[in-house]
């Protein structure tokens, strides 16, 4: 009888150990200005695709840009503009928590809008399948966490669901997706989100890791940029809200420092 070799634990790829790419606040000294930190896990081409043959390890531009838009109150501007470096006169303000962030109804990013109506549904997949690994699971991941129930209702997120009964809130089945146990743990700890990325076939939903920490249940490189296996339509608006929740988690180190010039709740 032929026996398979013991399965090895997933290895951490070299890109997980590259220094992160940091987005800084313009009004702070260098040592305390780090707003967001992204591990360079994307093999990105000059066309911002994530699957090209000549890719280098960077961070997907559109994902970082959207993150910056979120923490600056849904500012859609891509133009260069001068920033006053005198903190007394005109500090560059950022939101520091999701509770103070309003869903951008009329400013929904184009990449997210593009993927909203073009989600391919996998035939033959069971509804109890993990959307990333494909393995059977009964573990439910809340897209908008239960802890954000008040935010969910205040921003009328139920209007994006087919069953919009207000009593369901974040426990609406459309706000849940299946994830394998180890992936669910990392998802709940805001290590990754599901975002649109441009492939040769247009925009597709894929996982994007914002953490490559050693204590992840599964190394970031294993499922980073993995397209989701969809057995039903995922409300993109809820995925966007989850992405925002993940990004605000990255701000915690910045907001925990003692002196802050301008942070908006």
81-117 per-position pLDDT tens digit: 555 555 554 566 888 899 999 999 888 888 898 886 5
Share of the chain above pLDDT 70, in %: 75
Going by C-alpha positions, the residue among 66, 245, 67 that lies closest to residue 148 is 245
Q: How many other CB atoms sit within 10 Å of the CB of residue 29?
A: 7
**Helices 61-71 and 236-250, packing angle to 10 deg:** 80
pLDDT at residue 237 is higher than 90: yes
- Residue 46 scores a pLDDT above 50: yes
Query: In the prediction, which pLDDT does 28 show?
Result: 81
Give the count of alpha carbons within 13 A of 115, CB side only.
27
Q: What are the sequence ranges of the domains in the chain? A: 14-264
As a whole number, mean pLDDT of residues 30-38 equals 89
């Amino acid at each position: 009888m032929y026996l398979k070799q013991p399965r090895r634990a997933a290895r951490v790829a070299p890109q997980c150990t590259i220094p992160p790419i940091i987005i800084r606040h313009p009004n702070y000294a260098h040592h305390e200005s780090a707003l967001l930190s992204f591990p360079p896990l994307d093999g990105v081409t000059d066309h911002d695709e994530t699957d090209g043959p000549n890719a280098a390890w960077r961070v997907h531009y559109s994902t970082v840009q959207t993150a910056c838009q979120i923490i600056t109150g849904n500012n859609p501007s891509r133009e260069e503009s001068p920033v006053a470096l005198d903190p007394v006169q005109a500090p560059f303000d950022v939101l520091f928590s999701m509770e103070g962030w309003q869903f951008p109804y009329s400013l929904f990013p184009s990449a997210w809008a593009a993927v909203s109506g073009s989600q391919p549904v996998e035939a033959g997949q069971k509804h109890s399948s993990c959307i990333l690994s494909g393995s059977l699971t009964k573990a439910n991941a809340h897209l908008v966490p239960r802890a954000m129930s008040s935010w969910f209702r205040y921003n009328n997120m139920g209007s994006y669901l087919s069953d919009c009964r207000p009593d369901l809130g974040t426990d609406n089945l459309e706000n849940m997706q299946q994830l394998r146990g180890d992936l669910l743990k990392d998802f709940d700890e805001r290590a990754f989100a599901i975002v649109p990325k441009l492939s040769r076939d247009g925009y597709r939903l894929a996982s994007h890791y914002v953490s490559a920490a050693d204590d992840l249940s599964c190394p970031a490189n294993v499922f980073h940029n993995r397209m989701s296996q969809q057995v039903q339509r995922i409300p993109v608006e809820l995925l966007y809200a989850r992405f925002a929740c993940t990004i605000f988690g990255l701000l915690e180190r910045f907001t925990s420092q003692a002196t802050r010039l301008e942070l908006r709740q």
